[in-house]
Amino acid sequence: MSETAIESARDEEPGAVTASYLVAGHTLKSWLTTTDHKRIGILYALAITVFFFIGGIAIGLVRLELMNPKGAILSDEGYNRLFSLHGIVMVWFFLVPSIPATLGNFLLPLMIGARDVAFPRLNLISWYIYAVGAAFTCYAIVAGGVDTGWTFYTPYSSLYSNSNVLAAALGVFIVGFSSIATGVNFITTTHMLRAPGMTWSRLPLMVWALYATSIVMVLATPVLAMSLLLIIAERYFGLPLFNPSEGGDPLLFQHLFWFYSHPAVYIMVLPAMGVVSEVFACFARRRVFGYIMMVYAIMAIAIVGFLVWGHHMFVSGESQYANVVFSFLSFAVAVPSAIKVFNWTATLHRGQVTFEAPMLYALGFLGLFTIGGLTGLFLASIPIDVHVTDTYFVVAHFHYIMVGGSVSAFFAGLHFWWPKITGRLYSEAWARFAAIVMFLGFNTTFLPQFIMGYGGMPRRYHVYPQEFQVYHVISSVGALILLSAYLLPLIYLGWSLLYGTRAGDNPWDATGLEWQTSSPPPKENFEEIPVVNAGPYHYHPAEEAPDAARREPQEAQGRKP
Amino acid sequence: MSDAPTLLHEPWPSLAREKEGVAFGLWTFLASEILFFAGLFLSYAVYRNLYPDAFRIASRETDILYGSINTAILLTSSFVMTIALHASELDRRRILASCLLVTAILGLAFLGVKGLEYADDIDKRLVPGPDFSLKPAATRLFFALYWVMTGVHAIHLAVGVGLVIYAGVQVQRRAIAAQSPAIEAISLYWHFVDSVWLILYALIYLPGRS
Ligand code: HEM
Ligand SMILES: [Cu+2]
């Protein structure tokens, strides 16, 4: 990449480039009132980083506590509040908005050749909605925290819990609207604002993934909002909605909750799949194997994902028939995921792979997501789930998917598009090092949790039999390694912002419209709206004869609006 | 075309496209809204299935007169809103503004009637709680849902009234054009909120009255 990078690097000569979005206004107000999707993406990135570390501090204390089987430093109450805080913050304020609201906001219009998202002001409003929801949740934290877990199960949350359920649930309720607004915006943008020639079958997989994610956000989030509203009605106004002593059915709450929260897993994982598809194609210098299958798989995951929520309730007393159906459907949803894994592997297998930092993170995703997915099959089969439900096996499983999968992919994307976003290069050596430490730290933390979970260590307990201590200690040491791996990027990426060399428009020699504009892009994204003549991922146009014939590069240049 | 300020906004290439886009976006949002209410309808279905008798008894306590008046008011408002949309398409600013005004008044009338009904309900001690007046315990579930469903609907309607008034004032002041895509969006939203009421009417007032 070095030569092209230097050749195409643009200097700050006045007039050489249209002003980038970064310098279009320097005041704080110009950022807080911006309707530019790129700046809004950055606002989100800052906000979720704060929450990532809040959630991290909470779990740091939990892991410290768990080093000792007697539970030496925290009270029972304090422990419950800390892991609840960790879950609530990580899921609702970090993971759900992570890739879509940051990278997605930044990239979606660029990738389809649009000047902005369909409703730029709504986009800004959605960030403020996020901020208001966050404020409620922060209040709940400062006022002493919540102890319901991130799932707010009734009737505990609505009747018994003696903590700040109201503020926390309101925070999550509000932040949901920000997610819906983003979803509406992305869906409309993808339908209505694609550049000339950007047909559906030419969309990059990242765009497909964001599109599918948006559908899930739009259709699932309102159900969560409603179930939280019902908790608030029960808790605050005394309306008996899920109270069994009044004839109410707590299972109903779980159905409503998981109808959102299982698809929410796909809100976290689909964008991750989009990111790694782009990264694999670029660093294997190959078009993604089986593009059409990949698209179908994305949509299938989004749709079937709505039908499997009951696998969270195998032991809750739902009917045996329901259990069997949900178990079967859960296996079914594994099929498209497996297709994706196979197609990525095939892409890599046929490619000329190089190991830049984004690629290392993406490979980390592939490994960890596969382990998470396979253990998901264990959990989908009823007899095994009955054995390991509510143990650390589950904790390990969902961390492999959510943290090993989504967070690795988030870092892959961040590193891949960093030169586009900031116009700067970061230190490759440090980035590779961090990627490797992150992978090792992750496995040190969560592999032992599979073992102790299978051995019977229940989740959400801080006093436990001596025999599990060794696993807990390894896990806590792993968490420390992981923490340092999360801090490293903060340092070298920050350094790159200040001192990094200029990246040039396309340091990776990648395909995709976002790489055709300058880095960082001008406020209006493209000097002229590009015209698309070919499908995505033309890394070897010459070899792909039928497509090469269609491709007339730079034709777009001559076109005046 | 109208003399009002620019109709076209970034990032849309043309006004026609922007109109399509706004309508599309609003339909997407309504899909989301439908699922929002679906959570309530599902809860209602589950409990009515579990306690059919209690639901019949409870439903008979509701005041069908208020309910029917309100249904009539909303249907009329939807009709006026349709004229408003037509006026917007024909670029008839004055007619548009007055139709929006009438729609808003009807919306407020609905909320007023609903307020009277709530007052009666409270008098009749139909709020689930210690001094709830009805007998089989499960009637509380009906009334819990009654309050949440009508409350959520009333909030939606209040938001609608706010939007309609805002749009009306802006149109009157020529701050937005009569043909602004916003008018279609608001009318779609209004019709949606009215449709939800029709479902609520059937769920709340009709069971147990045959
Ligand atoms: C340093 C990294 C992390 C460590 C060491 C860690 C550790 C843990 C532990 C031990 C629990 C179990 C608490 C219990 O049930 O007793 C837990 C729960 C959870 N974690 Fe993490 N976690 C980490 C990162 C994350 C991240 C990045 C996310 C999401 C992005 C996340 C999401 C969750 C969720 C949703 C729960 C469930 C909370 C609950 O059971 O209510 N974690 N974590
Ligand atoms: Cu699930």
pLDDT for B24-76, tens place per residue?
Answer: 999 999 999 999 999 999 999 999 999 999 999 999 999 999 999 999 999 99
Three-state DSSP at A346 gives: helix
When pLDDT is averaged across residues B137-152 and rounded to a whole number, the result is 94
Alpha helix segments (H runs only) across A9-75? 28-32, 37-66
Spatial distance between the Cα atoms of A39 and A21, rounded to a whole number of angstroms: 7
A248 touches chain B (CB under 8 A): yes
Could you give the number of structural domains in chain A? Answer: 1
How much distance in Å is there from the Cα of A264 to the middle of ligand 2? 9
A43 in contact with ligand 1, CB cutoff 6 A: no
Could you give the number of structural domains in chain B? Answer: 1
The torsion defined by the Cα of B55, B61, B66 and B67, in degrees rounded to 10, comes to 10
pLDDT, tens digit, 9 for 90 and up, residues A472-501: 999 999 999 999 999 999 999 999 999 999
How far does CA B70 lie from the centroid of its chain? 11
Spatial distance between the Cα atoms of A450 and A456, rounded to a whole number of angstroms: 10
Kindly state whether residue A493 falls inside one of the protein's structural domains: yes
Kindly state whether residue B61 falls inside one of the protein's structural domains: yes
Three-state DSSP at A391 gives: strand
Cβ atoms A145, A77 nearer than 8 A: no
A83 in contact with ligand 1, CB cutoff 6 A: yes
pLDDT, tens digit, 9 for 90 and up, residues A243-277: 888 888 989 999 999 999 999 889 999 999 999 99
Which residues, 6+ apart, have CB-to-CB distance to A472 below 8 Å? A66, A67, A69, A448, A452, A464
A79 in contact with ligand 1, CB cutoff 6 A: no
Ligand 1 pocket, mutate which of A395, A402, A411, A472 (most atoms under 8 A from CB): A395
Give the count of alpha carbons within 13 A of A561, CB side only. 9
pLDDT, tens digit, 9 for 90 and up, residues A302-341: 999 999 999 999 988 888 899 999 999 999 989 999 999 9
CATH code, B45: 1.20.120.80
How far does CA A537 lie from the centroid of its chain? 23
Kindly state whether residue A526 falls inside one of the protein's structural domains: no
Q: Do B141 and A247 touch (CB under 8 A)?
A: yes
Spatial distance between the Cα atoms of A541 and A282, rounded to a whole number of angstroms: 14
> Which chain B residue has the Cα nearest residue A192?
B21
Spatial distance between the Cα atoms of A200 and A197, rounded to a whole number of angstroms: 9
A99 in contact with ligand 1, CB cutoff 6 A: no
Kindly state whether residue B5 falls inside one of the protein's structural domains: no
A265 in contact with ligand 1, CB cutoff 6 A: no
> Whose CA is closest to atom 43 on ligand 1?
A59
Nearest to A111 by CA among A407, A420, A360: A420
- Averaged pLDDT of chain A: 91
Q: Show the domain range for B201.
A: 25-205
Q: How far is B10 from chain A (nearest CA, A)?
A: 8
How much distance in Å is there from the Cα of A167 to the middle of ligand 1? 21
Q: What is the pLDDT of residue B137?
A: 86
Q: Show the domain range for A470.
A: 37-515
DSSP code for A558: G
Best mutation target, A35, A112, A224, A241, to test chain B (most B CBs within 10 A):
A241
Which residues, 6+ apart, have CB-to-CB distance to A234 below 8 Å? A154, A155, A158, A159, A240, A241, A242, A243, B144
In the predicted model, is pLDDT for residue A210 greater than 70?
A: yes
ipTM strictly over 0.90?
yes
Three-state DSSP at B8 gives: coil
CATH code, A224: 1.20.210.10
pLDDT, tens digit, 9 for 90 and up, residues A522-553: 999 999 999 999 989 988 766 554 444 444 44
Kindly state whether residue B116 falls inside one of the protein's structural domains: yes
Q: What is the pLDDT of residue A161?
A: 87
Kindly state whether residue A427 falls inside one of the protein's structural domains: yes
Q: Do B31 and A219 touch (CB under 8 A)?
A: yes
Spatial distance between the Cα atoms of A491 and B104, rounded to a whole number of angstroms: 56
Q: How far is A420 from chain B (nearest CA, A)?
A: 21
Give the count of alpha carbons within 13 A of A478, CB side only. 20
Which residues, 6+ apart, have CB-to-CB distance to B16 below 8 Å? none
In chain A, positions 93-152, which contact chain B (CB-CB < 8 Å)?
A: 109, 114-120
Cβ atoms A424, A501 nearer than 8 A: yes
Kindly state whether residue B14 falls inside one of the protein's structural domains: no
Kindly state whether residue B7 falls inside one of the protein's structural domains: no
Cβ atoms A89, A134 nearer than 8 A: no
Kindly state whether residue A136 falls inside one of the protein's structural domains: yes
Total-model pTM: 0.91
pLDDT, tens digit, 9 for 90 and up, residues A29-51: 999 999 999 999 999 999 999 99
Which residues, 6+ apart, have CB-to-CB distance to A334 below 8 Å? A373, A376, A377, A380
When pLDDT is averaged across residues B151-163 and rounded to a whole number, the result is 97
How much distance in Å is there from the Cα of A214 to the middle of ligand 2? 18
Kindly state whether residue A554 falls inside one of the protein's structural domains: no
Kindly state whether residue A309 falls inside one of the protein's structural domains: yes
Kindly state whether residue B10 falls inside one of the protein's structural domains: no
Kindly state whether residue A536 falls inside one of the protein's structural domains: no
A362: confidence class by pLDDT, cuts 50, 70, 90: very high
Q: Do B25 and A249 touch (CB under 8 A)?
A: no
- Averaged pLDDT of chain B: 93
In the predicted model, is pLDDT for residue B2 greater than 80?
A: no
B39 neighbourhood in chain A, CB within 8 Å: 222-223, 226-227, 230, 256
Q: Which sign, positive or negative, has the C-alpha torsion B198, B201, B204, B206?
A: negative
Kindly state whether residue A103 falls inside one of the protein's structural domains: yes
